[in-house]
Amino acid sequence: MNVLVTGGAGYIGSHTVVELMNAGHEVIIADNLSNASADVIDRIEKITGKAPEFYRINCCSEILKSIFARHRIDAVIHFAGYKAVGESVRMPLQYYRNNIDSTLSLLEAMEYGGCKKLVFSSSATVYGPDNPHPYKEEMPALQSASPYGWTKVMIERILTDYVTAHPDFCAVLLRYFNPIGAHESGLLGDDPNGIPNNLMPYIGRVAAGKLEKLTIFGGDYATPDGTCQRDYLHVVDLAVGHLRALEYAMEHSGAEAINLGTGKGVSVLELVHAFEQANNMKLPFTIGARRDGDLPAFWADAEKAKKLLHWEAVHSLEDMCKSAWEFARTH
Ligand code: WQD
């Protein structure tokens, strides 16, 4: 099958491209490299033995249409988008313009190319602050705490409306929890520009001696050890989840939201200790003030993914910590 992957050079996108290629699919990547490096394409070739087709483009209508004119695309996985929560608060217009426009352009290009199968990169952030955990797909999921999160909410809405108008279209809305870890080859991983916002890349830089110590944001939450709990899942499990979602989309129509998480909550302190144990090191950290906008605890109800996609996360926290360190140590 020919699969167009927008944002295929990014952290989750690149891992997904590898899984698609290993499963025998032809992959066409569209990525403007605004938050990724061209080396990733070479690394994908190193891992899979084959270079994916790569277009360095912005996801605007005319250019995307030209890709559909050139290739018979059977399905699309749409990762392209800005994703930094804090930055989105400072630059809301850029986030709405970029994330929403690219999705509308993609839908227009898909219509032009007669392609009716889409897997979208959504987020657990759409559950907003008021739902109890574990989060279930049928809960109201129409709010968020940041412009970034709102773009996910709005795009879910756009796709749902599109499916109402085109009942033979299938949109799988994958709501990710917290992906961490790296590819076993050591060639792909989470390598953000500048000082990382997310926990695991930050831990990696501290472990590598590039940052002095980790500050844990808040030690007085109403959780078992006072630090926030999240549902951390291995990025390779997440990538495999996209493959299953694609298989599901090929057989179904309609809009379907599906959580991809492990179903377990892990606290920041537990993650720090798991990292220390897996990699046999001490990690300097201090407990600091709470970070604005953080929820105390949430994790997935992972049953729907099991039932509809026959998918569940298989990698352990130790795998996540070892692979994350292997990547951080060598990059
Ligand atoms: C995890 C935990 C922090 C850094 C966000 C987005 C979400 C998704 C992934 C994607 C929290 C704590 C962190 C640090 C810390 N989006 N922490 N010290 O906030 O759960 O989710 O990223 O692209 O949509 O909201 O992830 O990794 O930032 O934080 O103590 O230096 O680690 O307080 O409890 P988060 P995170």
pLDDT band at 141 (very low <50, low <70, confident <90, very high): confident
Q: Tens of pLDDT along 279-303?
A: 999 999 999 999 988 999 999 999 9
Q: Please tell me the predicted confidence (pLDDT) of residue 143.
A: 80
Which residues are catalytically annotated? 148
Q: What is the pLDDT of residue 293?
A: 87
- Residue 193 has a pLDDT of 83
How many Cβ atoms are within 10 Å of 33's Cβ, its own excluded?
14
* Candidate of 99, 178, 190, 231 to mutate for ligand 1, largest count of ligand atoms within 8 Å of Cβ: 178
What residues line ligand 1, using a CB cutoff of 6 Å? 83, 85, 123, 125, 178, 197-199, 202, 214-217, 228, 230, 268, 291, 294
Q: What is the mean pLDDT of the chain?
A: 96
- pLDDT tens digit sequence for 20-33: 999 999 999 999 99
Compute φ and ψ for 277, nearest 5 degrees.
-70, -45
Nearest ligand 1 atom to the CA of 124 is 24
**Residue 198 C-alpha to ligand 1 middle, in angstroms?**
5
- Ligand 1 atom with minimal separation from the 145 CA: 25
Residue 272 alpha carbon to ligand 1 centre in Å: 14
Residues 144/78, Cβ–Cβ less than 8 Å = no
Closest CA to ligand 1's atom 1: 199
Atom of ligand 1 nearest to the CA of 125: 24
Q: What is the mean pLDDT of residues 126-143?
A: 93
In Å, the largest CA–CA distance within the chain is 56
Distance 261 CA to ligand 1 centre (A): 15
In terms of DSSP H, where are the helices of the chain? 11-22, 39-48, 61-70, 85-90, 92-113, 147-165, 199-207, 235-251, 268-279, 303-304, 317-330
pLDDT at position 54 over 80: yes
Residue 167's pLDDT is: 98
Q: Which of 306, 298, 220 is nearest to 266 (CA)?
A: 298
pLDDT of 144 reads: 87
Does residue 259 have a pLDDT over 90? Answer: yes
Q: From ligand 1's centre to the CA of 288, what distance in Å?
A: 15
| pLDDT of the residue at 61 | 81
Length of the chain: 331
Torsion sign, CA atoms 319, 256, 110, 169? positive
**Residue nearest (by alpha carbon) to ligand 1 atom 9:** 178
Specify the ligand 1 atom closest to the Cα of 149.
24
Kindly give the distance from the C-alpha atom of residue 158 to the centroid of ligand 1, in angstroms, as a whole number: 26
Atom 22, ligand 1: residue with shortest CA distance: 198
pLDDT at 142 over 80: no
Over the stretch 82-106, which tens digit does the pLDDT of each residue have? 999 989 999 999 999 999 999 999 9
Interval 186-221: pLDDT, tens:
999 998 888 999 999 999 999 999 999 999 999 999
Question: Ligand 1: which residue has its CA nearest to atom 19?
Answer: 294
